[in-house]
Structure 1
Amino acid sequence: MGSLSFTNVCGSAIGISYLKINDTILIEKSKPSEYPEVKNKILEIPDKNSTIFSYDNKSWNDFSRIWLSIEVGGDTYSIDLNRDHYFYGGDYRYPGEGSAIVYIFSGFSEDNSMVQLSQGYAKAGDNNMFYSNDLKYLNKTAAT
């Protein structure tokens, strides 16, 4: 089994409004979710809190892409990472069956145009989590 954990230490509540891994949409604001943890179609994570759920539609080694959008105080921040631009690390760093992934939303840029994202990973069931030694940034998207 694979697991995804999201930890928020940004100082503000965040809501995950869109999450797609490979070909599977896990969270979409405009549609009901099959995951019971997701209420009102957005996964709300208060400041200094975490949430975890399973994702094992594909093996971690078959990962191709992740799309993620969050909402904070009326603003939307998004990131699109394919396998070549994903976090650096070793085996099991990709979400999927056999891996345990934690994403950490750790703060805003001074101009509020970006949210910093880091990652930890492990083989599912292992006690030792490894960190990826790079950071990614969700960019504020223009209002539509």
Structure 2
Amino acid sequence: MDRGYEKERFVTIKIKSSVARKFKQFSKRMSKSQSMTLLLMLDFFEVNGISPSEAIGPQMVTLEAKLAMLIKKRMNGMIAILKDIEKTQTKPAAAMLYALFEQAEQPQKKLILEKKFVKETKQVRFREKNSDSTNT
């Protein structure tokens, strides 16, 4: 049963048997009921402004132009959203982080330490005994 159309009753349409067979095969390929397949086809023609009796050549060009214009509008919308996010969220957050890091990493002045020079004195731990001093 077709969703949304369960309570509607069926009505017959008179069409040629060869056309009916062809339509039934097409409906099976679409995996839809015959009513839904016909509804999809009618919606397609109405939405795209295509008439089955006219050649599709010039219409296809306008369809491509409409599609390109629709894609361009959506892309412009996405770009506007991204720019707004960047302006209101990303840049202020980055600026705050930069300011925090700038304060934390302030270069400290090197302290001048007084260097004490130790006078090197040679201490002799062991002395030789003088032979002169011991004999006297």
TM-score exceeds 0.5: no
Greater strand fraction, Structure 1 or Structure 2: 1
Q: Indicate the structure (1 or 2) with the bigger Cα radius of gyration.
A: 2
> Higher RCO, 1 or 2 (CA under 8 Å, sep at least 6)?
1
Greater helix fraction, Structure 1 or Structure 2: 2
TM-score, structure 2 as length reference: 0.18
TM-score, structure 1 as length reference: 0.17
